Amino acid sequence: VDRVGSRWPLALGGVAVALACVYLSAMQTLLGFYIAFTVSRTADQGLIKIGAVPAVGKWFERYRGRAVALVFFGGSAGIVVLAPVVQIVMVTWGWRAAWLVLGAVMLALGVIPSFLIVRRQPEDLGLAVDGRPALDSVDQNTPGQSTPLAAGSTAGSPEAGVEWPLARAVRTPAFWLVLVSLFVASTSSAGVTLHLVPYLTQQGLGAGAAVSVISVLSISSALGILALGFLAERVSPRILLAAVFSLIAVAIGVLLSADSLAKAYAFAVLHGLASGGMNTLAPLLWASYYGRGILGSLHGISRAAQVAGFALGPLVLGIAYDASGTYQTALVYFAFTGVASSLLILAARRPRMAPIRRH
């Protein structure tokens, strides 16, 4: 993505998802289902999710927070809009037609706009970040080179000084502290979410009420994406991430005593804001520490760590429940991981590298 831009990864990922949907509409075997879903998820996580953030992140500096937030919010909004559409198609024409509709939507709204509109960075078109006047004499996105000070940027930020090469960035303590904190927080966030309905029913809530908590959590997550994206333009993403990780711990604390629907909703609001904010803030922190030039690489690495956490968290909680017959012990552990993630991110201060200036 850093070398060729997000245009082709987004377009090819969209084509892969669309073809998988078409195949699912005609599948006849369980093996075919597994293969199509594997292709679809791999394309989504490996091409679309990785390419989407740099597609806008490299075009903005001052307003990068809201730009990245809108990318993630678009994903949440798409689920809200498409879910009832798919349900109507399934009831009217069947589930095979629903898969065809999803494939057509991906081609029309994902593949074609990505191919026609998306470009690597503004400098490729003779433009500058945030629509500022272009400076032909300065390459604003070359790792290791100086970059001009932009309106709204702060002294010491990469945009005000230097773009980091990936080889040097991964050798800084801050890189590993951020990466580990995201992995740990993702473990607790996903573990709690996946087991939420069975836990709440165990706490005495009805199945319908427990499912409604998921809806509140989803809405809160979308709000967290937008709110923290805009707030990150004024407050350090590191400080906001520390607050988000602490909020995960607080939310789990509320969940531990959630014996009523009101407490369950309180958890959903807190945890939704935190989980939505985490996804938005992570790429903003990478850009503020290391610049735009390697944003795609850093976002890809951190997404891999987060996806690993998403996979591990539910497994840990499930094993703990099978061993003890209760979720309580594992939830306490996850609450502490939220605190640990907060401390790790606070320790990850912005790295410094002397700029290499060209004359």
Domain boundaries, the chain: 7-121, 166-347
pLDDT beyond 50 at 7 = yes
Sign of CA dihedral 175, 177, 180, 182: negative
How confident is the model over 83-106, as pLDDT tens digits?
Answer: 788 888 998 999 999 999 999 999
How confident is the model over 32-75, as pLDDT tens digits?
Answer: 999 999 999 889 888 888 888 888 888 888 889 999 999 888 88
What pLDDT was estimated at residue 223? 92
Nearest to 55, CA basis, from 121, 113, 103, 107: 121
Q: How far apart are CA 274 and CA 270, in angstroms?
A: 6
pLDDT beyond 70 at 210 = yes
pLDDT beyond 70 at 157 = no
Mean pLDDT of the chain: 86
Instruction: Please give the radius of gyration of the chain, using alpha carbons only, rounded to the nearest integer.
Output: 21
For residues 321-325, give the mean pLDDT.
89
Q: How far apart are CA 240 and CA 160, in angstroms?
A: 21
Question: 166-347 maps to which CATH number?
Answer: 1.20.1250.20
